[in-house]
Amino acid sequence: MVKKIMLALLVGLILLSAVFAEETKSVRATRKWVKQNAHAILQDFTHLLSMPNVASNRKNIRNNAEYISNLFQKRGFDMQLLELEGANPIVYGEYKVSGAIRTLCFYVHYDGQPVDPTKWAHGPFTPVLYSGAMDGGGKPIALPSRGDKIDPEWRIYGRSAGDDKAPIITILNAVDALQSSKIGFTSNIKLFFEGEEEAGSTNLKAHLLNNKNLLDDIDIWLFCDGPVHQSRRPQLVFGVRGVTGMEVTVYGATRALHSGHYGNWAPVPGQMLARLIASMKNEDGKVLIENFYDTVEPLSEFERLELAKIPNVDMQLKNELGLVFTEGEGRTINERLLLPSLTIKGLASGNVGKKARNVIPNTATTAIGVRLVKGNDPEDMLDKVESHIRKQGYHIVYAEPDMETRLQYRKIAKVDRRGSGYIASRTSMQEPHAKTIINAVRNFVSDELILMPALGGSLPLYLFTDMLKKPAIIVPVANHDNNQHAANENLRIANLWYGIDLMGVIMTMPR
């Protein structure tokens, strides 16, 4: 019996050492590639960033799609553009491996947020290399030539640098590195690059259903989007919050009134709305709407243990963001992001600044955003918000109230749900393919890998996990301070190098 146990342990150690050796081999290959080709990688990245990619410009988007498709076709991928009338194309590709026992699919979006050039230090599609973070004193520098030393703290500024063209470059160069070192993939690889993510992914469901035959054999989806943890430690994320919302308008008189002639007599919609909003949430950030938290699906014991290991970055973020207090003091941001939230996204009533007038506006409107977690239904959560509004004495309408309605009800609120949104998604950390990826990445990173149950942001991940019934993991590359969606978006060079290593590790993880 003892001999059998010792033999089993010896075999296990041999297999484990082989695994580590193969992963080390892949990392050696990607790092060698980066060392030899860093200048060319940065040039390729800046060229890709120079291609305007706002989703509404179909011509520019198609230029991006064709260019990216051609890059992967040159590297042996079977590529095609998946077309749908009235939609931007999906860049789809596959690379089949003899004897592979699984198929991985990398999701990236190649479109970017709309831009206001007046708010950028440089043109959003004129990428500029900086010696460090712009707000930390970094200065513009020239792109390096072959052999020049490259500081990993340098940053490239340009639209989509962090969200979401960086993963395209990391996947591309991981492929180059492995092929140049004659290291084969251990999985079939598929690519699914979307061109409308920043426009709400309105055609994503139709694309997935139309091309189900191409996607049925995928074992796990890898979403290359979002930032690494604020501590700069690598992380894998297993879900996202869902999102929904509404606009609420409250009414005063049928027209704006002179504040001298009618002030102290006519109702003031802005003040009415302020009281309504204040009734929804207390100063500690707790949502006071009845049953708001009731349908939250609890974390598993394994997920709770992983959550407890995540570094507390609250003080770092407070200092970075100029905050003295946060909502939910006593609980970390990591914990708070696993609860549904209610946010006032915008307010409008009258004017301020030079346009302010001595009037009582006749309406006041707020845009309310509701982030959802696993277990929340979008319509049900909005029903709860509406119910709360009624309990504050409001009669709810769904169109402009007529005079008869105005004269019948003391307080009127118009609700516009503006689309129902979508549910949250979460893949189990103990799903078999997820466990394989966790082990591969954990063996690669020097710092302890962070496993995050879900991001605070929203992606239509449910289409993959709930509609296609496939597990999905978010594999972030970008730095947390990349100014995603804002002016002066950027990527830290160290994160680009990390991403190339990471993609290589995943492509060569044990069979």
pLDDT digits (tens, 9 = 90+) for 247-265: 999 999 999 999 999 999 9
What integer is the mean pLDDT of 129-142?
A: 97
Q: Are residues 392 and 496 in the same domain?
A: no
Is the pLDDT score of 4 beyond 90? Answer: no
Q: Are residues 106 and 209 in the same domain?
A: yes
Structural contact between residues 474 and 237, judged by C-beta atoms closer than 8 angstroms = yes
Q: Are residues 114 and 220 in the same domain?
A: yes
For residue 150, give both structure tokens: 């490259």
- 249, 243, 280: which is closest to 415 by C-alpha? 249
- Contacts (Cβ under 8 Å, ≥6 apart) of 148: 39
Looking up residue 132, the CATH number of its domain turns out to be 3.40.630.10
Tell me whether residue 15 is in a domain: no
Tell me whether residue 311 is in a domain: no
Is the pLDDT score of 9 beyond 50? Answer: no
Q: Are residues 270 and 382 in the same domain?
A: yes
Is the pLDDT score of 2 beyond 90? Answer: no
Looking up residue 398, the CATH number of its domain turns out to be 3.30.70.360
Q: Are residues 501 and 379 in the same domain?
A: no
214 in helix, strand or coil? helix
Q: How far apart are CA 342 and CA 244, in angstroms?
A: 10
Q: Are residues 471 and 362 in the same domain?
A: no
For residue 252, give both structure tokens: 């005063």
276 in helix, strand or coil? helix
> Three-class SS string for 389-445?
HHHCCCEEECCCCCHHHHHHCCCEEEEECCCCCECCEECCCCCHHHHHHHHHHHHHC
Tell me whether residue 163 is in a domain: yes
Q: What is the pLDDT of residue 511?
A: 84
Would strands 455-458 and 239-251 be described as parallel, antiparallel, or unpaired? parallel
Q: How far apart are CA 281 and CA 279, in angstroms?
A: 6
Residue type, 108: V
pLDDT tier at 18, thresholds 50, 70, 90: very low
- 402, 401, 400, 398: which is closest to 418 by C-alpha? 398
DSSP per residue, 10-52: HHHHHHHHHHHHHHHHHHHHHHHHHHHHHHHHHHHHHHHHTS-
Out of 416, 437, 463, a domain closes at 416
E strands within 436-511? 450-452, 455-458, 472-474, 490-492
Is the pLDDT score of 17 beyond 60? Answer: no
Q: Are residues 407 and 433 in the same domain?
A: no
Q: Are residues 264 and 195 in the same domain?
A: no
pLDDT digits (tens, 9 = 90+) for 348-379: 999 999 999 999 999 999 999 999 999 999 99
For residue 468, give both structure tokens: 């296609």
Q: Are residues 49 and 171 in the same domain?
A: yes
Q: Are residues 450 and 381 in the same domain?
A: no
Tell me whether residue 290 is in a domain: yes
pLDDT, greater one: 24 or 128: 128
pTM: 0.87
pLDDT digits (tens, 9 = 90+) for 145-198: 999 999 999 999 999 999 999 999 999 999 999 999 999 999 999 999 999 999
Out of 376, 393, 416, a domain closes at 416
Tell me whether residue 293 is in a domain: yes
Is the pLDDT score of 10 beyond 70? Answer: no
pLDDT digits (tens, 9 = 90+) for 407-433: 999 999 999 998 778 999 999 999 999
Structural contact between residues 313 and 333, judged by C-beta atoms closer than 8 angstroms = yes
CA dist list (Å): 429 to 220, 238, 307, 438: 12, 7, 12, 8
Q: How far apart are CA 371 and CA 292, in angstroms?
A: 11
pLDDT digits (tens, 9 = 90+) for 449-505: 999 999 998 888 999 999 999 999 999 999 999 999 999 999 999 999 999 999 999
Q: Is the dihedral of CA 506, 507, 508, 511 positive or negative?
A: positive
Is the pLDDT score of 12 beyond 70? Answer: no
Q: What is the pLDDT of residue 23?
A: 54
Q: What is the pLDDT of residue 126?
A: 98
Residue type, 137: G
Helix, strand, coil abundance in the chain, percent, nearest 5: 35, 20, 40
Q: Are residues 404 and 455 in the same domain?
A: no
What integer is the mean pLDDT of 16-24?
A: 47
Q: Are residues 360 and 475 in the same domain?
A: no
pLDDT digits (tens, 9 = 90+) for 275-309: 999 999 999 999 999 999 999 999 999 999 999 99
Q: What is the pLDDT of residue 418?
A: 83
Tell me whether residue 322 is in a domain: no
What integer is the mean pLDDT of 100-129?
A: 97
User: What residues make up the domain containing 376?
Assistant: 243-299+338-416
- 175, 184, 360: which is closest to 263 by C-alpha? 360
Out of 367, 384, 416, a domain closes at 416
- 185, 148, 123, 132: which is closest to 41 by C-alpha? 148
Q: How far apart are CA 477 and CA 506, in angstroms?
A: 13
Q: Look at the chain and report how many structural domains it folds into.
A: 2
Q: How far apart are CA 127 and CA 46, in angstroms?
A: 6
Tell me whether residue 14 is in a domain: no
Would strands 140-141 and 128-130 be described as parallel, antiparallel, or unpaired? antiparallel
Q: What is the pLDDT of residue 355?
A: 95
Tell me whether residue 329 is in a domain: no
pLDDT tier at 24, thresholds 50, 70, 90: confident
